[in-house]
Amino acid sequence: MDSDVHEAFEALRKLGLSRYEALAYLHLLISGGANPKSVCDTTGIP
């Protein structure tokens, strides 16, 4: 994980997002949007 992305992930976790919520949110920001299957496949969210 890139250091900027890792910092953003940690900030989102401190705000109360779950691990999966933070991963999904960051993936959507970085990708510009994606369907649910793509988010799960890319992030490893079950």
Domain ranges for the chain, please list them: 1-43
Say if pTM beats, i.e. exceeds, 0.75.
yes
The predicted pLDDT at position 1 comes to: 65
* Tens-digit pLDDT string for the chain (46 aa): 689 999 999 999 999 999 999 999 999 999 998 999 999 999 999 9
Residue with tokens 């705000």: 15
Burial of 22 (0-12, 13-18, 19+ CB in 10 A): buried
